[in-house]
């Protein structure tokens, strides 16, 4: 008989990028399980609106995951107001698309700062807190793109490969502790980030609630690899058994090579605009450099 899943009632769970999309769906699912949830987001106003919708004293805090001091302040407030941190869900991320050679350096830096450093800061700040209390669980949102390379999203794929790799390495470092690591690899999700992407054959598009359900499941019965949808596990395993030419041929057959390369740019326009201004510090630095150059 399978063991009962771990209860989440009363657990203190912090979610980055929690004001919308997967983060919001995950927060709702956890609140329904009785967890004490804090959502951190760059958009403080939207975070507060989301927290009000979720109820049950959900905490909304401003968070810039690219700044270590902001992340540390976020976790400090979570623990001060809700109690010791049990779970951190590193969900914040962006996905601007376009040909690799056309990608400007600010976009690349923004991708790395949010998708890579945001995850690193979260892990480096949360793990010592969990070590002191002897338990904890970190959930890192990667992507199916973290297991393959998809044209049109080269840098994004690279950042998600990092999330998978760092999660595997840190899991090994923590093997003899009671701290769990999970890495979540969704296919295309019906969120603003996934807007305008074409369908692929064989792998269905999923809802943010599907990803939230998988995260709740991994917290109840800890597991490292969390694939959404589940059938993508079999596809990935099969692909790894094949030589490269065969894998690439199947990807073309499934139209997986078109997913990030041929989006509907009109549908994605509002998201791309928001993603382009998702790191204030980088925007400020760019403005400072422009002003300095104009005075020379």
What residues act catalytically? 156
Cis ω before 98 (30° cut-off from 0): no
Distance CA 66, CA 139 (A): 18
In terms of DSSP bridges, do strands 136-141 and 87-90 run parallel, antiparallel, or are they unpaired? parallel
CA distance 177 to 272: 41
Order of strands across the sheet that contains 59-62: 59-62, 36-41, 12-16, 87-90, 136-141, 179-186, 225-228
Nearest to 180 by CA among 21, 6, 1: 6
Q: How far apart are the first and last CA of the chain?
A: 74
Distance CA 137, CA 127 (A): 9
């Amino acid at each position: 008989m399978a063991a009962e899943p771990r209860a989440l009632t009363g657990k203190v769970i912090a979610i980055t990028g929690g004001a919308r999309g997967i983060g919001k769906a995950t927060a709702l699912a956890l609140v329904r399980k009785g967890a004490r949830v804090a959502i951190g987001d760059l958009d403080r106003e939207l975070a507060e609106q989301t927290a009000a919708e979720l109820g049950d004293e959900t905490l909304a805090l401003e968070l810039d995951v690219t700044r270590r001091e902001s992340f540390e302040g976020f976790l400090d407030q979570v623990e001060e107001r809700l109690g010791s941190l049990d779970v951190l869900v590193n969900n914040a991320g962006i996905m601007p698309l376009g040909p690799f050679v056309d990608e400007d350096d600010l976009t690349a830096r923004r991708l790395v700062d949010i998708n890579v450093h945001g995850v690193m800061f979260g892990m480096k700040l949360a793990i010592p807190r969990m070590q002191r209390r002897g338990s904890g669980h970190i959930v890192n949102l990667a992507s199916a793109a973290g297991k393959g390379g998809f044209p049109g999203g080269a840098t994004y794929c690279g950042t998600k490969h990092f999330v998978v790799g760092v999660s595997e390495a840190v899991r090994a470092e923590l093997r003899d502790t009671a701290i769990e690591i999970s890495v979540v690899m969704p296919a295309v999700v019906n969120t603003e980030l996934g807007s305008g992407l074409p369908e692929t054959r064989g792998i269905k598009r999923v809802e943010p609630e599907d990803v939230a359900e998988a995260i709740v499941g991994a917290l109840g019965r800890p597991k490292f690899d969390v694939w959404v949808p589940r059938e993508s596990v079999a596809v990935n395993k099969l692909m790894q058994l094949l030589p490269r030419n065969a894998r690439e041929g199947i990807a073309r057959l499934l139209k997986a090579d078109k997913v990030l390369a041929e989006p509907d740019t009109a549908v994605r326009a509002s998201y791309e605009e928001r993603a382009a201004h998702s790191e204030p510090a980088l925007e400020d630095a760019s403005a400072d450099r422009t002003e300095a150059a104009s005075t020379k």
